[in-house]
């Protein structure tokens, strides 16, 4: 096994500017690179990105077997485990690898946007009661139990069928599924590849949010950029919407932990030399690689089921506070920590690739076969949550994203400060007070979590969104202003 190269801070002069907002670290930068590394960023964002190890991590990805064309990074890139968060890489199915570090510990962490017919003027007087009910009814926090407990047979159903299983149990309607990425279910899932320990962790947590940067948020549509696409998505000015951000909880975390260990123990078997142990991987075609893929997709199914249960809880709250006739409709649900088999152009030919997205959102353009009929003409909704206290955005995927970034966009603002540093810089109690003065209600089980997620610990979301919009990966449709944020 190789060793991590001594960290040498990359400077602006090491990057080749191939377009106004597109930078490339050429293959010649380091002798072990198989392909170049690509970054989407403005000069201002680049200056924020350069000081940490995220670009070094991006370069390390290019050394992995079977990588195709380039490793890419979004403007919200920051240092992660193995892959940088905001990193994208695609691998040949026969010669390439699969890496848990290219997906993350929170498998299928993603976002779901729900729309209502309630206007801001009619919501204002209900703010406190809604905030209290959200905090009471949606379990959040480290290790917290969920809404339902799963026996062995039920957990098998969740891991195999995903959101469809919980819809069958009465948590939603069949029509919901068409508005979830992959309809909330990946067929390659195999619960037998998920360890008993992972299953035990997951059996108690379905329908819970977790902690960290996860949240349920009530927003108001305060800006419409594209009236036609917004109308197709069911968005309008001053509309109340709901954002859900969470993933596969302890189950997904344990799956990642299990397979990182398995893959590290089998590197020599496949003669894989790593520059960084955090890039532990296995050939996708190997037993270890295939088992992880099946466990990862089972975890993804769990996450879609999890967000579906939370949606059901939100709908109950909505009808309790507002009229029984009022409902919450799913605009879309999209993952930003996953690996999927997709068709992409490589050197003029369509090829099946294993696309790793870690802190990166799928952004398919119009007429893509995987999109629901409602969005075929517009392209895929791309939902980008901001940091606590800042705007979130709804974008729409563009066709040229397929060759610019393997059909991928950013996933948020991106951290500019570690959680440890944020704890030193910010006081949670003061932040809650300051946000309240901006008419943003924060409900949290821990003021420590609030400090770690301080808005100033993140990059400027407007700058990040403007990059992907101007490059043409995904175009702006609407902006959402937070009113209530509920965290673990």
Is pTM beyond 0.85 here? yes
- In order of 81, 263, 421, 474, the CA distances from 259 in angstroms are 14, 6, 30, 33
Give the residue from 193, 40, 114 showing the smallest Cα distance to 480: 114
**12-416+458-487: CATH homologous superfamily?**
tRNA-splicing ligase RtcB (3.90.1860.10)
Verify whether residue 367 is a known catalytic residue.
no
Work out the mean pLDDT of the chain and round it to a whole number. 95
Angle at 407 between CA 363 and CA 415, to 5 degrees: 70
Lowest mean pLDDT among 309-313, 447-451, 472-476: 447-451
CB neighbour list of residue 467: distance below 8 Å, 6 or more residues apart = 21, 40, 41, 42, 45, 75, 410
**pLDDT value for 8:** 67
pLDDT reported for residue 2: 46
Interval 431-439 mean pLDDT: 94
Domain chopping of the chain, boundaries: 12-416+458-487
CB 469 within 8 A of CB 395: yes
Residues 409 and 74: beta-carbon distance below 8 Å: yes
CA 65 vs. chain centroid, Å, equals: 25
- Catalytic annotation, pick one of 214, 336, 356, 411: 411
User: What is the pLDDT averaged over residues 62-75?
Assistant: 98
* Rg of the Cα atoms in the chain: 21
Please check the confidence at residue 56 and state whether its pLDDT lies above 60: yes
Q: How confident is the model at residue 147 (pLDDT cuts 50, 70, 90)?
A: confident
pLDDT at 1: 43
pLDDT digits (tens, 9 = 90+) for 365-389: 999 999 999 999 999 999 999 988 8
Contact 439, 396 (CB under 8 A): no
End-to-end CA distance of the chain: 39
pLDDT tens by residue, 314-353: 999 999 999 878 899 999 999 999 999 999 999 999 999 9
Residue 141 pLDDT level (bands cut at 50, 70, 90):
low
- Please say if the pLDDT value at position 396 is more than 60: yes
- pLDDT tens-digit readout, 164-205: 999 999 999 999 999 999 999 999 999 999 999 999 999 999
pLDDT above 90 (res 445):
no
Residue 57 predicted with pLDDT over 90: yes
Taking only the tens place, the pLDDT of each residue in 216-244 is 999 999 999 999 999 999 999 999 999 99
pLDDT the model gives residue 149: 86
Q: What pLDDT, on the 0 to 100 scale, is given for residue 323? A: 84
Is the pLDDT at 257 greater than 90, yes or no? yes
pLDDT in tens, 78-100: 999 999 999 999 999 999 999 99
| Burial (0-12, 13-18, 19+ Cβ within 10 Å), 109 | buried
Rounded to whole angstroms, the Cα distance separating 403 from 168 reads 38
Is residue 146 scored above 60 in pLDDT? Answer: yes
């Amino acid at each position: 096994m190789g060793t991590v190269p001594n960290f040498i801070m990359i400077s602006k002069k090491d990057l080749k500017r191939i377009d106004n907002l597109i930078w490339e670290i050429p293959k010649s930068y380091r002798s072990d690179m198989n392909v170049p590394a690509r970054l989407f960023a403005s000069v201002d964002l680049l200056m924020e990105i350069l000081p940490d190890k995220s670009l070094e991590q991006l370069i390390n990805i290019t050394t992995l077997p079977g990588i195709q064309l380039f490793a890419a990074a979004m403007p919200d890139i920051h240092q992660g485990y193995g892959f940088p968060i905001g990193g994208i890489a695609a691998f040949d199915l026969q010669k390439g690898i699969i890496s848990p570090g290219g997906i993350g510990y929170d498998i299928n962490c993603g976002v779901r946007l729900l729309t209502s017919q309630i206007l801001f003027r009619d919501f204002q007087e209900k703010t406190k009661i809604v905030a209290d009910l959200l905090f009471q009814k949606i379990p959040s926090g480290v290790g917290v139990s969920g809404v339902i407990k799963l026996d062995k047979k039920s957990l098998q159903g969740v891991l195999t069928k995903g959101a469809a299983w919980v819809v069958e149990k009465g948590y939603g309607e069949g029509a919901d599924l068409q508005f979830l990425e992959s309809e909330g279910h990946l067929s390659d899932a195999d619960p037998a590849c998920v360890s008993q320990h992972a299953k035990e962790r997951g059996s108690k947590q379905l329908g819970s949010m977790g902690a960290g940067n996860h949240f349920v948020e009530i927003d108001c549509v305060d800006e419409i950029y594209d009236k036609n696409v917004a109308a197709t998505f069911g968005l309008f000015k001053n509309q109340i919407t709901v954002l859900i951000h969470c993933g596969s909880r302890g189950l997904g975390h344990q799956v990642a932990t299990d397979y990182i260990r398995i893959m590290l123990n089998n590197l020599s078997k496949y003669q894989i030399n790593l520059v960084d142990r955090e890039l532990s991987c296995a050939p996708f075609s190997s037993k270890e690689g295939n088992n992880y893929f099946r466990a990862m997709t089972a975890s993804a199914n769990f996450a879609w089921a999890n967000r579906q249960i939370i949606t059901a809880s939100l709908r109950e709250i909505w009808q309790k506070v507002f009229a029984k006739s009022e409902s919450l409709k799913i605009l879309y649900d999209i993952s930003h920590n996953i690996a999927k088999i997709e068709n992409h152009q490589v050197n003029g030919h369509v090829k099946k690739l294993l696309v790793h997205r870690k802190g990166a959102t799928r952004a398919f353009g119009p007429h893509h076969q995987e999109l629901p009929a409602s969005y075929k003409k517009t392209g895929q909704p791309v939902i980008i949550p901001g940091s606590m206290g800042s705007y979130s955005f709804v974008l729409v995927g563009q066709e040229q994203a397929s060759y610019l970034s393997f059909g991928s966009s950013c996933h948020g603002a991106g951290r500019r400060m570690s959680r440890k540093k944020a704890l030193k810089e910010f006081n949670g109690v003061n932040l809650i007070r300051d946000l309240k003065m901006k008419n943003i209600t924060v409900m949290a089980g821990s003021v420590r979590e609030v400090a770690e997620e301080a808005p100033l610990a993140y990059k400027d979301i407007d700058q990040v969104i403007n990059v992907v919009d101007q490059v043409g990966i995904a175009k702006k449709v609407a902006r959402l202003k937070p009113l209530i944020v509920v965290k673990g």
